[in-house]
Structure 1
Amino acid sequence: MIRTQLVRLYPNKAMRKHLDDLCDYRRYCWNLGLETWNNMYQESLIMGNKKLKPSWQKVRNELAHDKQDWQYQLSSRCLQLTIQDLGKAWQNFFDKARPDWGKPKFKTKKAPRQGFKTDRAKIINGQLRLDKPHGIKEEWHNIEISGAKNLKGDLKTVSIFKETNKYYASLPFEVEIKIKCQTKRKTAVDVNVGHLNYTDGIINTLPKKLQSLYQRIAYYQRLLACKRQVNGKLAYSTNNYVKTRAKLQRDYHKVANIQNDILHKFTSKLTDNYDTIVIENLDVKQMQMTHVASKGLQRSLFGKFRQLLTYKCNWYGKHLVLANRYYPSTQRCSNCGYIKQDDDKITLQGNQKYHTKHNEYICYQCGAVMDRDENAVQNLLALA
């Protein structure tokens, strides 16, 4: 299995400059490669020759042939991997089912995250060593890593990026993962805005400490919007704008760390204690388009939870059951099987006909009264 570990890097002054140069070089290669790709495609249309259509090999050869002198002072693998990623981006463009579907766009230096890839990196004595290009006369240094004791396995292509003036590396290791012991237990998880319900309790995905962070994020966003409205494009180059944007990115990073920690611990607990896990196959993107609690849906990370649980079940030999998105887990009575329809259905506002709250489930067939989320968990558990 390929297990990826995100670590923070602590480069010295010389290596910081080299990492910044590689980030700029990847952006340069991407933009030049995308421009070359578009020109080749237009030429194939004008000439009416399908053999002239671009591919990542053709674009790579074109850029490698026209290399300038300064490019030889940087790693050649950066150009190779950048054009390969550009080719994958064009392949994804023809798959409209992808959530991030769209044409590849030009990169900008104003983006909050800048990075590059390399497949020549090594872990030596708990430090990251990058390949030294030809012609570099400056002294070359290894880069210190946080949590270096837990790095084990065969290292693959490394992604290094810079965010809020800090450097991080995504280290994919090929490791052998042992299948966990069988517990012969089953559970079901009902995802909701702000919390996850399962057979043993409730997990809060939007704790109170996130509320203050979201308030600060909204405050910094208003400040940046005012600066752009007053100064226009000149606002991006002012020191106050850069400092405020750095604070905004810092708070976004804190929110991501808190929620990732919650989801990782919960998914690991599920795979440790249960053999069969049932979740709903929700169309989250379509749900967000309705603009009903769309912000809460996005912050609850339904897609992230499913992604983590899917690969952990594959790792440890657990069985993940996806309920059909039209399965009436909320409308069905777990006691008698009666399914509410038309005006009897429960919505986010409850039921206007019978004046019930959104968290109440009252069965009009057998008279059972129960919590809406607990009822949904029992219906999902029946699929196991």
Structure 2
Amino acid sequence: MLKAYKFRLSPTKSQQEYFVKTFGCVRFVYNKMLEERIRLYEDSKLNPNAKQKLPTPAKYKPEFPFLREVDSLSLANAQMDLNRAYTNFFRDPSVGFPKFKSKHNARASYTTNNLKGSIRIEDRKVKLPKIGFVKLKQHRPFVGIIKSATVSMTKTRKFFISILVDQSEEQWVPAKNKVGIDLGLEHFAIMTNDEWTSEKVANPRFLRKSEEKIKKAHRALSRKKKGSKNRDKARIILAKKHEKIAHQRQDFLHKLSKRMVDENQVIVVETLKSKNMMKNHTIAKSIGDVSWYEFVRQLAYKCTFYGRTLIKADQWYASTQICSSCGTKGEKKTLDVREWTCTCGAHHDRDINASINLLLLAD
């Protein structure tokens, strides 16, 4: 089983410069190969019988010698990323055609592989190809064979490493409980277990609570002259505020998803299409802040790790409209209807009723 462990790096100034240079070279090679593949496709339409050879990173090294200064495996992985992007596009065109990477918007990262111990951890340091040992904060140990490592940099110039490890399957003690989880905006999650006990988890609304600070930082940034040092300082201040919100959200989601996996053997969750729901501009910001997709994603991989069963209800399953007592499907209810009474006489809390219906899918 492959599992990734992410740690904070503390590189020296020269090591930081190397990382930034590698990020740039990987982005440069990716864009060059994408540009050439587009050109080859256009040429093939003019001459269909001509055999075209796809570009590789080695092709650009004679013309651009600075590419020799970075890890060659990082460039090879950029080629693999481009091939994967093309494969995904032809498999499902809705994914979108591969895009050129921007210096300011693209994620600053590169991936390298472990060849004969080229990546290893010793004495609170990690050894990486071409650069040697870099200090890291290893907050938890792991056992397994290191396959690859991805070095990344945030907008606030913090460096991290994600180490992919091949581990043996662990034997986890099964849990006894089942739970149905209904996701919402008023409450982040409404959960009902097989003991018919319901719980509502409040929506933390991290973005909403920090909105005034974000606006203030945006105004400060807009007043700074482009290209000035003060503008760069203001940009970092704004990035730190966004970073704090992201960390708060991730911490909340990880703790809640881990708790659900620890307590339950079977988890049933509703399927929500956040992208479609965000077309409603009235609630778009709230939906973006609540991060339903990320919560379900975390549940999915943690269930795999810990031997749990995750059931995703059908997108069109009307958990809100069905009476959990008699099974009768009532008329569609607007969002402002929080309680309703079925024809059988049962009175329901909208969200708790939905979580009970989801729980019934586990049987």
TM-score (norm 1): 0.84
Moved more, 322-331 or 60-69: 60-69
Quote the residue 2:340 is aligned against.
361
Q: Structure 1 pair 96/219, CA: closer, same or farther in 2 (3 Å)?
A: farther
Out of 356, 359, 362, the position equivalent to 1:378 is 356
CA distance in 2, matches of 1:204, 1:84: 42
Quote the residue 1:60 is aligned against.
56
Letter in 2 for 1:39: R
Matched, 1:116 2:110: yes
Out of 313, 322, 325, the position equivalent to 1:335 is 325
Quote the residue 1:31 is aligned against.
31
Is the contact between residue 205 and residue 259 of structure 1 (CA under 8 Å) also seen in structure 2?
A: no
Matched, 1:189 2:181: yes
CA distance in 1, matches of 2:36, 2:92: 24
1:214 Cα deviation after fit:
3.0
1:314 Cα deviation after fit:
1.7
1:198 Cα deviation after fit:
0.5
Quote the residue 2:133 is aligned against.
142
Identity score, percent: 28
CA distance in 1, matches of 2:92, 2:228: 40
- The secondary structure found in structure 2 opposite 1:48 is coil
Give the 5 Å matches for 1:105-254.
105-111=99-105, 113-120=107-114, 121-132=119-130, 141-163=132-154, 164-193=156-185, 194-199=187-192, 200-207=198-205, 210-224=207-221, 226-227=222-223, 235-254=225-244
Letter in 2 for 1:161: S
Quote the residue 1:346 is aligned against.
333
- The secondary structure found in structure 2 opposite 1:275 is strand
- The secondary structure found in structure 2 opposite 1:129 is strand
Deviations 1:44-103 (A, max 9, x none): 122123742x6xxx21166256454332222111211111111111222224476xx222
1:220 Cα deviation after fit:
2.7
Out of 262, 272, 284, the position equivalent to 2:252 is 262
Give the 5 Å matches for 1:300-319.
300-319=290-309
Is the contact between residue 361 and residue 375 of structure 1 (CA under 8 Å) also seen in structure 2?
A: no
1:215 Cα deviation after fit:
2.6
Runs of 5+ unmatched residues, structure 2: 193-197
Deviations 1:290-338 (A, max 9, x none): 3341211121111111111111112222111121111111011112222
Quote the residue 1:74 is aligned against.
70
Aligned positions, number: 351
The structure in which a higher percent of residues are helix is: 1
Is the contact between residue 156 and residue 173 of structure 1 (CA under 8 Å) also seen in structure 2?
A: yes
CA distance in 2, matches of 1:292, 1:340: 26
- The secondary structure found in structure 2 opposite 1:150 is coil
Is the contact between residue 177 and residue 265 of structure 2 (CA under 8 Å) also seen in structure 1?
A: yes
Is the contact between residue 217 and residue 238 of structure 2 (CA under 8 Å) also seen in structure 1?
A: yes
TM-score (norm 2): 0.88
